[in-house]
Amino acid sequence: MKKLKCLMFGLLLSLFLCDGAKILVLFPVPSTSHGILGDNMVKHLLDGGHEVTYITPYVSKQPSHPKLRIIDVSDNRLYNDKMLNLKNIMSGAVNLKNNEVVFENLVNVAALTLENQNVQNLLKDRTYNFDVIIGEYMFTYLYSSLPAVLQCPFIWFSTTELHSMILDPMQGPLNPAYVSDYRVAQIAPYSFEVRVKMLWALLKELYQRNGKFYDKEEEIFMKLIAPIVKEHGRPVPNYNDLKYNASLLLENSQVAIGSAIPLPPNCKYIGGYHIPDSIQPLPEDLKKIMDNADNGVIYFSMGSILKSKDLPDGIKEGLLKLFGGLKQTVLWKFEDQLPGMPKNVHIMQWAPQQSILAHPNMVLFITHGGLLSLTEAVHFAVPVIVIPVFADQFLNANQAQRKGYAIKVDLTFYLHKDLKMALGKVLSDLPKYAERVKELSVAYHDKPMKPKDALNFWVNHVVKTKGAPHLKSVALQVPLYQRVYLDLIAVILVILIVLLKIFCLVTGKKSMKVKTN
Ligand SMILES: *[C@@H]1O[C@H](CO)[C@@H](O)[C@H](O)[C@H]1NC(C)=O
């Protein structure tokens, strides 16, 4: 009996002490790479013993797990197929470089998510309680208003490399003289011209962020969140106070891949957590091809949403001819049939990318430069050629090129010709590129914790310390005009003007005297 009591007590204690927290995870952007990041984060949190409620558009892909609850937002829409068609992008029929359009689309995704009936039900149901929320940042700060309803700390997750917009709620505006902005897409140190451009981009952004973007978000907040706060009988907080109240930022990169910039202590790198410890073995036929590739393998993929089959026919033919002339084996993720395939070229509808990159015969990866693909390239130490197409890919491409393990090629109607030059350059100097990416790979892998453990550690830390207020940047308490000493400059200007006035008065009188004389 005593033993049983002890056992019961022990069980109760272990339940009580168990690290498991109740976590709400939001990855509502309907785009494959975002789904990969969300799914893997949820997997690691479940493995960490947490109870997860997951807001996702990818419902059918989710495993059944006793501690996982799915909130379906599969109605969310972002781009249509026409917008992400390579031919339309190349011809200019679709302009994805217009950031305003992209931002508007993404704010719409957030609005769609928050007004989704399943999400509204979750927010209105007072029986749910959460210890922490993790929300994906995609160019809207709206999700950081959820703590007004759910009364728990909030953590941002940044899908892209760190940039001024995601760091703003953690730190306020950053020095544009060296912090990257993916819209200018240059890597510091900058030329004078680029530095001025960066300042201009920041000022424009500050103006818009405090003007029309802010108004739009606040309007959505007042329409979709504020009524629930009132329903729960609480006063509605100021949207701006919520926006600057996030506890932590989890960054989907590693400093070895991006730029080393000064960060507040609540920004943590967890990039690479989507790559499992043990990589799936290759399918038998593919393994045979790669094992037998005596001259090495080149792998070409434009990612999960851009399709090589949409390339103009002339370019497809040019690429096939180019690849056929190489001594390496070429694996091409191509979503259709291709006539007249050279012997060394193999196309596949779907490619197990990580397993391919992990193969020792890999010599080169040709990619669109999505952050996940470049992270995998550094993880498995494979040099790359980047053909950036949209969003953060231009910045990623320039970064990889600057780091010395990549060459950037523009997506134009001369792609096959430019790619031929780039291939010539990399393949003739392969040991240099391979050495460089290996150096970066060592720096990338050498860290005190695996990314998935860092994820669980910092999420636990926020829960344990009730929002980790001690990690918050003190910069947020200092208004921008004080941070850049605009007040001091104003004081100096006033003194100068007064002195000038006095000087004018004195000399003016003197000259008057001279005249009357
Ligand atoms: C800010 O976050 C902390 C910790 O999560 C919380 O206690 C506080 O109420 C929040 N403030 C606002 C205005 O929501």
Cα-to-centroid distance, 247 and ligand 1 (Å): 9
The CA angle 287-377-446, to the nearest 5 degrees, is 115
229: its two tokens: 């706060």
pLDDT at site 513: 60
Cis peptide before 189 (omega within 30 of 0): yes
- Residue 245 CA, closest ligand 1 atom number: 1
Which of 110, 157, 134, 392 has its CA nearest to residue 251? 157
CATH domain 19-275+450-472 topology: Rossmann fold (3.40.50)
Residues 96, 389, 160, 203, Cα dihedral to 10°: -50
Kindly write down the DSSP assignment for every residue of 76-110, as one continuous string: -----TTTT-HHHHHHTSS-TT-HHHHHHHHHHHH
Strand partners, 51: 22
Where is 57: in which H helix or E strand?
none
Short-list 105, 108, 27, CA closest to 73: 27
Contacts of 114 by beta carbon, 8 Å cutoff, 6+ apart: 120, 142, 220, 224, 225
Neighbours of 472 (CB within 10 A): 20
Atom in ligand 1 nearest the alpha carbon of residue 152: 5
**Closest residue (by CA) to atom 12 of ligand 1?**
242
Work out which ligand 1 atom sits closest to the CA atom of 154.
5
Q: What is the pLDDT along the chain (517 residues), one digit of tens a residue?
A: 555 565 555 445 444 445 699 999 999 999 999 999 999 999 999 999 999 999 999 999 999 999 999 999 999 988 777 777 888 888 888 777 777 778 888 999 999 999 999 999 999 999 989 999 999 999 999 999 999 999 999 999 999 999 888 999 999 988 999 998 877 889 999 999 999 999 999 998 888 888 888 899 999 999 999 999 999 999 999 999 999 999 999 999 999 999 999 999 999 999 999 999 999 999 999 999 999 999 999 999 998 888 888 899 999 999 999 999 999 999 999 988 888 899 999 999 989 999 999 999 999 999 999 999 999 999 999 999 999 998 899 999 999 999 999 999 999 999 999 999 999 999 999 999 999 999 999 999 999 999 999 999 999 999 999 999 999 999 999 999 999 999 999 999 999 999 999 999 998 766 666 555 5
Cβ-Cβ contacts under 8 Å for 447 (sequence gap 6 or more): 254, 454
Closest atom of ligand 1 relative to the 147 alpha carbon:
14
CA-nearest residue, atom 9 of ligand 1: 151
136 alpha carbon – ligand 1 mean position (Å): 19
Instruction: Output the ligand 1 site: residues, CB below 6 A.
Output: 147, 153, 237, 241-242, 245, 247, 467
Q: What confidence score (pLDDT) does residue 17 get?
A: 47
pLDDT of residue 319: 95
Query: In this predicted structure, what is the pLDDT of residue 14?
Result: 47
The three-class DSSP label of residue 301 is strand
Could you tell me the distance, in angstroms and rounded to a whole number, from the CA of residue 47 to the centre of ligand 1? Answer: 28
Residue nearest to atom 5 of ligand 1 (CA): 153
Write the DSSP symbol of residue 279.
P
- Per-residue pLDDT, 318: 94
CA angle, corner 307, sides to 102 and 57, nearest 5? 55
Nearest atom of ligand 1 to the alpha carbon of 237: 13
If you measure from the C-alpha of residue 4 to the centroid of ligand 1, how many angstroms do you get, rounded to a whole number?
Answer: 43
**Counting atoms of ligand 1 from 1, which one is nearest the CA of 247?**
5
Residue listed under structure tokens 């494979």: 382
Pocket-testing residue among 245, 470, 471, 472, ligand 1, by greatest number of atoms within 8 A of Cβ: 245
CA of 472 to the centre of ligand 1 (A): 12
- 245 Cα to the center of ligand 1, angstroms: 6
Q: Give the pLDDT score at 213.
A: 84
Torsion of CA 422, 423, 428, 434, to 10 degrees: 90
How far is the C-alpha of 316 from the C-alpha of 87, rounded, in Å?
A: 11
Ligand 1: which residue has its CA nearest to atom 10? 245
Q: Is 484 left (phi over 0), alpha (psi -120 to 50) or beta?
A: alpha
CA 469 to ligand 1: nearest atom:
4
Q: Is the dihedral of CA 266, 267, 272, 275 positive or negative?
A: positive
pTM score, two decimals? Answer: 0.92
Distance 470 CA to ligand 1 centre (A): 13
Unique residue bearing structure tokens 């636990």: 460
Q: Whose CA is nearest to atom 14 of ligand 1?
A: 242
- The whole-number pLDDT of residue 498 equals 97
Distance 218 CA to ligand 1 centre (A): 18
Distance from the alpha carbon of residue 224 to the mean position of ligand 1, in angstroms: 20
Contact by Cβ (8 Å): 155, 135: yes
**Residues 180, 395: contact at Cβ < 8 Å?**
yes
| CA 238 to ligand 1: nearest atom | 13
Candidates 286, 448, 268; CA nearest to 353 is 286
368 C-alpha to center of ligand 1: Å?
Answer: 40
pLDDT of residue 516: 54
Distance 178 CA to ligand 1 centre (A): 32
In CATH, what class is 287-445? alpha beta
CA of 8 to the centre of ligand 1 (A): 37
Q: Atom 1, ligand 1: which residue's CA is nearest?
A: 245
Q: How far is the CA of 393 from the centre of ligand 1 (A)?
A: 35
